[in-house]
C-alpha cells in the first residue's frame, strides 16, 4: 500500500467524522475529526515528515487519539476505527445524509422508524408519503427531499475539478516512473477545465511492446502507440460534439480523422501533437476549455476565437479573509503570501457584522483592520515595495437587499463585495429583487458568488440571473467569478451573457487560508471556458488602475 498523503488522510478523517455522526456521537467529537481534516489540507510540509518526526501533536486540535489515527491512515491506508465504522454505518446512509435539510438526527430517525438506509429507500418512502407521518417532517420537507435526491445521486458520480487535478497529477507522476511510457498528459473534462469531472483520464504514449500499467481505479489511462498521440489527444479530450464537428470538417476536406490518425487527401499526416492535427486541417488551435460543442470550431474557422485570459493576467487578489473574521492567516501573512505569488495587491475582505458565525467585523475591528492596512501600506512604500493593501469588506446582503452597515461606515472602505449568506429559501422574484437592490447600492463594487451554489453539495438559490446581470451592468458593479473550487460562481455558462450586457467580471479566490490564495487559478480556468479576456476582468488591472476604478466608484456615493 502506497503511503497516503495529507489530502487523502484528510478525506478519511472526514469519512470517520461523517460516519461517527451517524452513530449519534457527540457533535464535538465529530468536529474534532473535521477540524483535523481541515488542518491536514492546509499543511505546508509533507505529512510523511510530520509522522516520522512525531510532530503531529504540536498542532492545536490534534491530540493523542487523532495523531495515532493519522499515522495509521498515512502508513496503512486505514484504521480499525474506520473499518468498524464502515461495518456499522452503511454507505447508503451517508448518501441520505447528503440531502439538504437532513442532519444526523433526522437521518437516524428515518433509519430507526422507516428502516431507510439508502437513497432508493428514501425515494420510495417520500413518494408514498411516508415521511410526513414522522414527527418533525412536513409535506414541504418531503417535497424538498424528493427534489434533492436526483441532485445527490448525480453528484455522487462526479468529483470537483481540483480533486480530478490531484488524481491526474498523481497518475502522471506514476507514469513518469514507468520506463515504457514515453509521455503522458491529462485529457477529458479535467483538461477542458469542467467545474466537476465524471471521469479523470490521462493519455499515455507507450513503447510498442511495453507492459501497460494496471488500472488504479481513480484515473483511467488511455494508451496509444507513438505517432497517434495528437489525434488520440483530441478524441480523449472531447467533448464529443466538438470532436464530431472536427471529423465533419476533416471529411469536407477529403480527409479522415480518427483516434488512430489523420489521413489527408495526399496521404497520412504526421500528428505527434494535437497542434499538428489542427494545423494539418487548417484550423486555428482551439483551447481545450472552449471545446464543449461545435460552436468553438466555427469561431476558430471564422477567426473569432476570443483572446482568453491567462493566469499571468491576474495582477492581485480581492475578496479574501483573514483572522479578523473566519480566515486562518493574519492580514500581514496573507499580504506576504500574495507578494510571494508575484501579485501586486491584496484587497482584504472579511465578513460583515451580520455574519456572526464567521466572526463578522463590528466597528471596532474595522478600525483596527484599517489601521493595520494603512501601517502595512506605509511600510511597503517606505521600503519601496510595489505592493498595496486595499480595504474591503464582504458585506452580507440583508433580507431586504440592503448592505450590512450604515453608509458612514461603508464609505470608509475602498471597495465592497456584496454577497448573500442567508435566506436562501426566498422565492425567485423576491430573491432577484433583493440581489438586484444590492447591485443598485452605490457602495457595492462587486457582487459576490451570485448564485450561492456549492458544487456537488447544494444548488444555488432561485434567481433570475439575467435580471441581476442587467442590474450589475446598469450600475457598473463587477460580477464575481468566485474562484473557490467548490463555488466557481458565476457559472461560466453565463460569462458571455454578462460580457454582452457590459458587465465587468472579477476573478476572486475567496481564500480563507494561504494555500487557497492560489485558487484564483481555478477562476481563470472557468473564465477561459466562459470566453473571458483579460480586459473583462477587474483583477487584471494593476494596483494603480484599480485604485482609480475604486475612486471612480466611490465618487458615485
Q: CB nearer to DNA: give 70 or 338.
A: 70
- Is residue 369 within 8 Å of residue 331, measured between CB atoms? yes
CB of residue 84 vs DNA: minimum separation in angstroms? 11
Angstrom distance (rounded) from CA 200 to CA 165: 8
Q: CB nearer to DNA: give 53 or 302.
A: 53
In terms of Cα–Cα distance, which of 203, 298, 202, 287 is closest to 246?
298
Torsion of CA 119, 123, 126, 130, to 10 degrees: -70
Q: CB nearer to DNA: give 61 or 227.
A: 61
- Is residue 13 within 8 Å of residue 70, measured between CB atoms? yes
Q: Is 328 left (phi over 0), alpha (psi -120 to 50) or beta?
A: alpha
CB of residue 347 vs DNA: minimum separation in angstroms? 21
Other residues' Cβ atoms within 10 Å of the Cβ of residue 284 = 12
Q: CB nearer to DNA: give 67 or 438.
A: 67
CB of residue 65 vs DNA: minimum separation in angstroms? 4
CB of residue 436 vs DNA: minimum separation in angstroms? 20
Angstrom distance (rounded) from CA 229 to CA 220: 16
- Is residue 20 within 8 Å of residue 40, measured between CB atoms? no
CB of residue 519 vs DNA: minimum separation in angstroms? 18
CB of residue 426 vs DNA: minimum separation in angstroms? 8
Q: CB nearer to DNA: give 103 or 198.
A: 103
Torsion of CA 543, 545, 546, 551, to 10 degrees: 120
CB of residue 458 vs DNA: minimum separation in angstroms? 5
CB of residue 129 vs DNA: minimum separation in angstroms? 14
**Nine cell digits for residue 304:** 473569432
Angstrom distance (rounded) from CA 420 to CA 462: 12
CB of residue 249 vs DNA: minimum separation in angstroms? 45
> For residue 318, what is the enclosing H or E element?
strand 317-320
SS3 197: strand
Length in residues, the chain: 557
Residue 470 CB partners (closer than 8 Å, separation 6+) = 501
Angstrom distance (rounded) from CA 469 to CA 502: 9
Q: What is the DSSP letter of 493?
A: G
CB of residue 452 vs DNA: minimum separation in angstroms? 8
In terms of Cα–Cα distance, which of 538, 400, 555 is closest to 477?
538
Q: CB nearer to DNA: give 122 or 358.
A: 358
Q: CB nearer to DNA: give 199 or 399.
A: 399
Rg over alpha carbons for the chain, rounded to the nearest Å, is 26
Q: CB nearer to DNA: give 119 or 181.
A: 119
Residues lying near DNA in the complex (CB under 7 A) are found at 26, 28-29, 31-33, 57, 59-67, 81, 100-107, 136-138, 140-141, 356-359, 399, 421-425, 454, 458
Q: What is the DSSP letter of 118?
A: S
Q: CB nearer to DNA: give 33 or 324.
A: 33
Which residue has 418531503 as its cell numbers? 142
Q: CB nearer to DNA: give 105 or 211.
A: 105
Angstrom distance (rounded) from CA 57 to CA 79: 18
Amino acid at each position: 500500500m502506497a503511503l497516503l498523503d495529507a489530502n487523502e488522510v484528510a478525506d478519511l478523517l472526514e469519512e470517520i467524522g461523517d460516519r461517527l455522526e451517524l452513530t449519534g456521537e457527540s457533535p464535538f467529537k465529530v468536529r474534532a475529526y473535521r477540524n483535523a481534516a481541515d488542518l491536514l489540507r492546509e499543511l505546508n510540509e509533507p505529512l510523511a515528515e510530520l509522522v516520522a518526526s512525531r510532530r503531529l501533536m504540536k498542532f492545536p486540535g490534534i491530540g493523542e487519539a487523532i495523531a495515532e489515527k493519522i499515522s495509521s491512515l498515512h502508513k496503512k491506508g486505514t484504521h480499525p476505527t474506520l473499518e468498524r465504522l464502515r461495518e456499522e454505518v452503511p454507505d447508503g446512509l451517508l448518501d441520505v445524509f447528503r440531502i439538504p435539510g437532513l442532519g444526523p438526527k433526522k437521518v437516524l430517525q428515518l433509519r430507526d422508524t422507516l428502516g431507510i438506509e439508502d437513497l432508493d429507500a428514501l425515494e420510495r418512502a417520500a413518494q408514498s408519503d411516508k415521511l410526513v407521518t414522522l414527527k418533525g417532517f412536513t409535506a414541504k420537507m418531503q417535497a424538498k427531499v424528493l427534489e434533492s435526491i436526483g441532485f445527490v445521486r448525480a453528484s455522487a458520480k462526479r468529483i470537483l475539478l481540483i480533486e480530478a487535478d490531484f488524481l491526474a497529477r498523481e497518475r502522471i507522476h506514476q507514469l513518469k516512473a514507468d520506463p515504457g511510457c514515453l509521455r503522458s498528459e491529462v485529457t477529458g473534462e479535467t483538461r477542458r477545465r469542467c467545474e466537476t469531472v465524471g471521469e479523470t483520464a490521462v493519455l499515455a504514449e507507450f513503447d510498442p511492446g511495453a507492459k501497460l500499467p494496471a488500472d488504479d481505479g481513480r484515473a483511467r489511462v488511455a494508451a496509444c502507440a507513438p505517432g497517434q498521440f495528437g489525434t488520440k489527444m483530441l478524441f480523449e479530450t472531447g467533448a464529443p460534439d466538438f470532436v464530431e464537428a472536427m471529423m465533419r470538417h476533416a471529411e469536407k476536406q477529403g480527409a479522415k480523422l480518427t483516434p488512430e490518425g489523420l489521413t489527408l487527401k495526399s496521404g497520412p499526416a504526421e500528428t505527434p501533437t494535437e497542434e499538428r492535427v489542427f494545423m494539418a486541417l487548417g484550423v486555428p488551435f482551439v483551447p481545450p476549455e472552449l471545446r464543449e460543442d461545435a460552436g468553438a470550431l466555427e469561431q476558430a474557422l471564422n477567426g473569432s476565437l476570443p483572446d482568453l485570459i491567462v493566469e499571468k493576467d491576474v495582477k492581485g487578489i480581492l475578496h479574501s479573509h483573514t483572522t479578523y473574521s473566519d480566515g486562518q492567516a493574519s492580514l500581514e501573512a496573507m499580504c506576504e503570501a500574495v507578494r510571494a505569488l508575484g501579485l501586486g495587491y491584496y484587497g482584504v475582505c472579511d465578513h460583515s457584522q451580520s455574519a456572526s458565525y464567521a466572526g463578522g467585523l463590528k466597528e471596532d475591528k474595522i478600525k483596527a483592520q484599517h489601521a493595520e492596512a494603512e501601517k502595512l501600506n506605509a511600510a511597503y512604500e517606505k521600503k519601496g515595495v510595489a505592493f498595496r493593501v486595499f480595504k474591503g469588506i464582504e458585506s452580507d446582503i440583508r433580507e431586504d437587499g440592503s448592505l450590512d452597515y450604515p453608509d458612514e461606515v461603508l464609505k470608509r472602505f475602498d471597495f465592497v463585495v456584496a454577497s448573500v449568506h442567508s435566506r436562501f429559501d426566498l422565492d425567485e422574484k423576491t430573491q432577484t429583487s433583493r440581489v438586484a437592490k444590492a447591485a443598485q447600492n452605490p457602495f457595492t463594487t462587486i457582487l459576490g458568488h451570485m448564485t450561492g451554489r456549492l458544487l456537488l453539495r447544494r444548488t444555488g438559490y432561485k434567481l433570475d440571473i439575467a435580471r441581476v446581470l442587467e442590474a450589475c451592468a446598469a450600475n457598473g458593479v463587477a460580477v464575481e467569478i468566485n474562484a473557490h473550487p467548490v463555488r466557481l460562481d458565476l457559472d461560466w455558462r453565463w460569462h458571455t451573457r454578462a460580457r454582452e450586457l457590459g458587465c465587468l467580471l472579477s476573478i476572486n479566490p475567496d481564500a480563507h487560508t494561504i494555500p487557497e490564495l492560489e485558487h484564483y487559478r481555478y477562476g481563470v480556468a472557468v473564465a477561459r471556458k466562459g470566453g473571458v479576456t483579460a480586459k473583462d476582468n477587474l483583477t487584471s488591472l494593476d494596483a494603480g488602475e484599480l485604485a482609480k476604478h475604486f475612486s471612480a466608484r466611490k465618487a458615485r456615493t
